[in-house]
Amino acid sequence: MSRVCDICGKSKTVGGRITRRGLAKKKGGIGMHVVKNVKRTFSPNLQGVRAVVNGRVQRMTVCTACIRANKVVKA
């Protein structure tokens, strides 16, 4: 199964995971400090769907946002 939505083209995006240490200021500490910043990927929620395209049934990989928005007609 491909990692791209067949309708909207949604694919993986890159982000970061920030690791912090310390006690928060409102809890009486000196504040949270960034210790590590690690790159990570966010993948879309893709589902395999049998959809009607041009009057024929076809298997597609579609994100759940497109399914909820009724951009695909399920077979």
Query: What digits encode the pLDDT tens for the residues 6-34?
Result: 999 999 999 999 999 999 999 999 999 99
**pLDDT, tens digit, 9 for 90 and up, residues 42-74:** 999 999 999 999 999 999 999 999 999 999 999
pTM for this model (two decimals): 0.74
Q: How confident is the model at residue 2 (pLDDT cuts 50, 70, 90)?
A: confident
Indicate if the alpha-carbon torsion angle 55, 61, 62, 64 is positive or negative: positive
Above 70 in pLDDT, residue 1?
Answer: no
Helix residue ranges per DSSP H, the chain: 64-68
How far is residue 54's CA from residue 75's CA, in Å, rounded to a whole number? 12
